[in-house]
Structure 1
Amino acid sequence: MSYPNDQAPQGYPVAYVQAPVYIQAQPKGLSVASMVLGLVSIFFGWTFLVPLLGLILGIVGIKKEPAGKGMAVTGIILNGLMIAGWLLLIVFLFTVGIWGAAASVNSGNA
């Protein structure tokens, strides 16, 4: 049965369909930046500042952006590993330098 103007006759229930509610995307900029800097620091690990900045952004990202927690944790892990690698390299070079200096002094006395 067809009704004029697509209206139901009086007395009949009319079904209303609610428009979908779109959830606003939560910001994830700090978390993404931390993860990207972690990945960049793997390939360009010659700098100490990039992993340090990525680590700071990851920590702030976890606190301020719960939607990007996974990316922030990934960034913290990658940047933390790169900083640990730098610290191990510095300790290694310092140790080798001390041994080299000690060997040089001992060989000069003989």
Structure 2
Amino acid sequence: MDDHSRAFSITSFVLGIASVVSGWTFFAPITGLVFGVLALRRNTRDRALALWGVWLNAIMLAVWVLAGSLAVAALGFGALAHLWAF
């Protein structure tokens, strides 16, 4: 087995945990997701760590997308309400 795939799975898992704990919501989860997928494609022995990393990072990205969508919707409704007030 390749040492890089082990490092990729550990990096993905650590970035996933750090994203959840510290609230990193965009760049760290994307990087962790990429490392997790690379580790899985290289058939790492640490498959569980890579899968946990992929899932944690994917959840944090989903939270970011949901929060961003809600913010855009709130701004849009606020702008519409402002226009209708006149």
Q: What is the TM-score when the length of structure 2 is the normalising length? A: 0.90
Number of residue pairs the alignment of both structures matches: 84
Residue identity in the other structure for 1:77: W
Q: Separation in 2 of the partners of 1:79 and 1:94?
A: 22
Residue identity in the other structure for 2:34: I
Equivalent residue, structure 1, for 2:16 = 38
- Whether the 8 Å contact between 2:8 and 2:36 is mirrored in structure 1 is yes
1:97 and 2:52 matched: no
Equivalent residue, structure 2, for 1:6 = none
Q: What is the TM-score when the length of structure 1 is the normalising length? A: 0.71
1:77 and 2:67 matched: no
User: Which is helix-richer, 1 or 2?
Assistant: 2
**Which structure is larger by alpha-carbon Rg, 1 or 2?**
1
Q: Deviations over 1:16-74 (max 9, x none)?
A: xxxxxxxxx76311101100000000122244100100000000010114201111000
Residue identity in the other structure for 1:60: L
Question: Cα RMSD (Å) of the superposition?
Answer: 1.4
Q: Gaps (5+ residues) in structure 1?
A: 1-24
Q: Separation in 1 of the partners of 2:77 and 2:54?
A: 34
Residue identity in the other structure for 1:66: T
Percent identity of equivalent pairs: 30
- Whether the 8 Å contact between 1:26 and 1:67 is mirrored in structure 2 is no
Equivalent residue, structure 2, for 1:62 = 40
